[in-house]
Structure 1
Amino acid sequence: MRKEDIAETLVKKFDLPKSRAREVVETVFEAITNALVKGEEVVVSGFGKFYVAQSKERQGINPKTGEKITIPAKKTPKFRAGKQLKEAVK
């Protein structure tokens, strides 16, 4: 499913103009993104939690040269499904 499909669902369910439905979907994803950028968690009750995980700096090996390298720390967006979503997918 794509963002366009989500917007189409809103059009059908709430009788919204397509442009308005797209705007709503974009706004929701923008709000989630902005919260994650600020380091906040986004909890959607019954659905799940979006959060940012911090990985530590670590040592690695360049596969081409065999040289030891330092892999820098980084932040990665993550999602943990809630209980209701897990049950629905079973």
Structure 2
Amino acid sequence: MTKKEFIELYAEKGGFTKKEAERAVALFLDTVEDTLLKGDSITFVGWGKWEVKERASREVRNPQTKERMTIPGKKAVKFKVGKLLADRVKEM
């Protein structure tokens, strides 16, 4: 589903205009981004948790040349699904 399709579905389910739905979705995504950029996590109990995790650097080997190289560490956004959502998806 694309962002545009999501906004249309959100507007339909919520009884909003597409303009209102687009504003609400944009505000939600901006708030999630701002929160993660501050280093805080976001938890919706039963639904899931977003957080920024530090990935350590690691050594890998190029399978073609067998050359060893180091991939530097980085920060990455992780999402961990909550139990209620996981159970509902499992029942699909």
Unaligned runs of 5+ in 1: none
TM-score by length of 2: 0.81
CA shift for structure 1 position 67: 2.7
Match status 1:76 vs 2:76? yes
Aligned amino acid, residue 76 of structure 2? T
Whole-Å separation in 1 of the counterparts to 2:81 and 2:47 = 6
1:24-75 Cα shifts (integer Å, max 9, x gaps)? 1011111111111221111112210011121111222334543322211011
Q: Does 1:10 align with 2:10?
A: yes
* Distance in 2 (alpha carbons) for counterparts of 1:87 and 1:60: 36
Identity of aligned residues (%): 34
Show structure 1 runs of 4+ deviating over 6 A: none
2:26 counterpart of 1:26:
yes
How far apart in 2 are the matches of 1:45 and 1:4?
27
**Counterpart for residue 52 of structure 2:** 52
Cα distance in 1 for residues equivalent to 2:14 and 2:81 = 26
Matched residue SS, 2:5:
helix
Q: Which TM-score applies when normalising by structure 1?
A: 0.83
Paired position in structure 2 for 1:89:
89
| TM-aligned CA deviation for residue 12 of structure 1 | 2.0
Match of residue 41 from structure 1: 41
